[in-house]
Structure 1
Amino acid sequence: MTLRCDLHIHTNHSRDGESSVEEVVRRAEETGLDVIAITDHDTVTGALYAMTVPTSIIIIPGIEVSTKQGHLLVLGVREVIPPGLGVRETIEIAHSMGGVTILPHPFHMWRHGVGLKLKEAILLVDAVEAFNSRYIVGAANRKAAMMARRYGKPCIGGSDAHHWRYVGYGTTIIDAEPSIDAILTAIREGKTIASCRMTPLRTYTRQSLRSTWGRLKRRIPNLKL
């Protein structure tokens, strides 16, 4: 059967997430999604909590890991993978845990794409995020899709939503039975079709400025406007 999935969603368990787990799940139900993956930054608390919320939607636990070279999505894990390691080591750890590894927004350096390690990472991961709804223009998505095809990697789509309103903006149609294990296997086997529509520019800009300001405050605790 075919399942409509959003495989890249943040909740307020992420340092830059704006919406509760319940709001995200409710929105997923309203938009007719069958599957969502909760992939908060460097934590699985939101994903584990989402799995306890009563819903007919399949919740895939996941995490977006901050590697030394850039971000890495890992689906199907329930434990934290330490941030700050090299991308190769992080992928190896994720695979040892049974996780599916996905390279998110690979051509967006401001949002922690893997940059100089891009080719190495694409060769090692299970799939590439070819459609991310938070790109301002479509060129970077097209480049990601081209790179995935060049190296024979499955393409997935994700909203990268940081607010419940944009859950479902990026989707992956997956040919699989409705279970976490079957869905992860289907991703590895490339039984996926990815698509997205863009997050409104004003929202993307506001969230990016808020995230940048948050990083500055963490680095300089006494910083004031």
Structure 2
Amino acid sequence: MVLLKCDLHVHTNASRDGESSVEEVIASAIAAGLDAVAITDHDTTEGAIHALTLKNPGIMIIPGIEVSTKQGHLLVLGTAQVLAPKQDVLKTIAEAKALGAVTVIPHPFHRWRHGVGLKCRIALKDVDAVEAFNSRYIIGTANQKAAKVAKKYQLPVTAGSDAHNCKYVGFGVTEIDAEERSVEAILAAMRAGRITCTCKKTPLRTYTRQSWDNTVRKVRRRVPKFRHRPRRRMVHRKK
């Protein structure tokens, strides 16, 4: 058996709100002493696929995706397959498992970050694990509630930095007791619950700025662009 340090929830600039390239994320993961990093961009596996094409990245790459389901976000680990967004979360979980992927509900009780647990708690019984240590928090009550519910349902808990900037990769570390150094062994150990977690908080200033920037992006996508209306030409008539 070998103990492997992993960050199971990381974004690159393949996500609309990601700020760092795949190469920058990998470099930070190595600097943080990680053995593996999961690339889990929002509704795309572009970043994960790019990471897998790199020669000798120096770290194990776990391909993944953070799917925006009808009820909230779902992490799918161990596949580069894109799953359709906006589906019922239970359907997405079933599709992910059919692919042989590991399913994790991230930040399940965070009210402003699409927590599945707020709208469909039954989904917590169907996944392989629950993220109970997410570094992007203010007071930590959502993490505590996630840990409590995971214990109730006898589910493994994971940690993830949920980093949207490479500086914070490794702020959420999942230590996995795997049979060997491979992605397949990591996923198998997760299903078996051979996991311990550590987490430290993303600086509040950074979290607040990123949240604000994300809100602005959403508003700009939804509100039609202001169309400039030409000024009316004033006509002066002779008296």
Q: TM-score range by the shorter chain?
A: over 0.9
Aligned to 2:158: 156
Counterparts of residues 184-199 of structure 1 (less than 5 Å): 184-199=187-202
Q: Is the 8 A contact 2:19 2:165 kept in 1?
A: yes
Q: Is the 8 A contact 1:129 1:155 kept in 2?
A: yes
TM-superposed deviation, 1:223: 5.7
C-alpha distance in 2 between matches for 1:185 and 1:89: 22
Deviations 1:77-108 (A, max 9, x none): 11100000000001011011111000000111
1:52 aligned to 2:53?
yes
C-alpha distance in 1 between matches for 2:118 and 2:107: 14
2:184 pairs, out of 174, 181, 186, with 181
TM-superposed deviation, 1:161: 0.0
C-alpha distance in 2 between matches for 1:85 and 1:109: 20
The runs of at least 4 consecutive aligned structure 1 residues that moved more than 3 Å come to 115-118
Once the two structures are overlaid, the 10-residue window that deviates more, 6-15 or 141-150, is: 141-150
Aligned to 1:212: 215
1:106 aligned to 2:125?
no
Aligned to 1:72: 74
Once the two structures are overlaid, the 10-residue window that deviates more, 22-31 or 107-116, is: 107-116
C-alpha distance in 2 between matches for 1:116 and 1:34: 33
Aligned CA distance change for structure 1 residues 223 and 66 (closer, same or farther; 3 Å): farther
C-alpha distance in 1 between matches for 2:165 and 2:85: 23
C-alpha distance in 1 between matches for 2:31 and 2:185: 24
Aligned to 2:172: 170
State the SS of the aligned residue for 1:90: helix
Aligned to 2:234: none
- List alignment gaps of at least 5 residues for structure 1: none
Identity of aligned residues (%): 59
Counterparts of residues 116-131 of structure 1 (less than 5 Å): 116-131=118-133
C-alpha distance in 2 between matches for 1:2 and 1:131: 19
Aligned to 2:11: 10
Q: Is the 8 A contact 1:72 1:103 kept in 2?
A: yes
Q: Is the 8 A contact 1:36 1:60 kept in 2?
A: yes
C-alpha distance in 2 between matches for 1:84 and 1:223: 28
Aligned to 2:25: 24
What is the TM-score with the length of structure 2 in the denominator? 0.91
Aligned CA distance change for structure 1 residues 44 and 218 (closer, same or farther; 3 Å): same
The number of equivalent residue pairs is 224
C-alpha distance in 2 between matches for 1:172 and 1:118: 25
What is the TM-score with the length of structure 1 in the denominator? 0.97
The code of the aligned residue for 1:140 comes to A
Greater Rg by CA: 2
C-alpha distance in 1 between matches for 2:127 and 2:117: 15
- List alignment gaps of at least 5 residues for structure 2: 228-239
C-alpha distance in 1 between matches for 2:152 and 2:135: 22
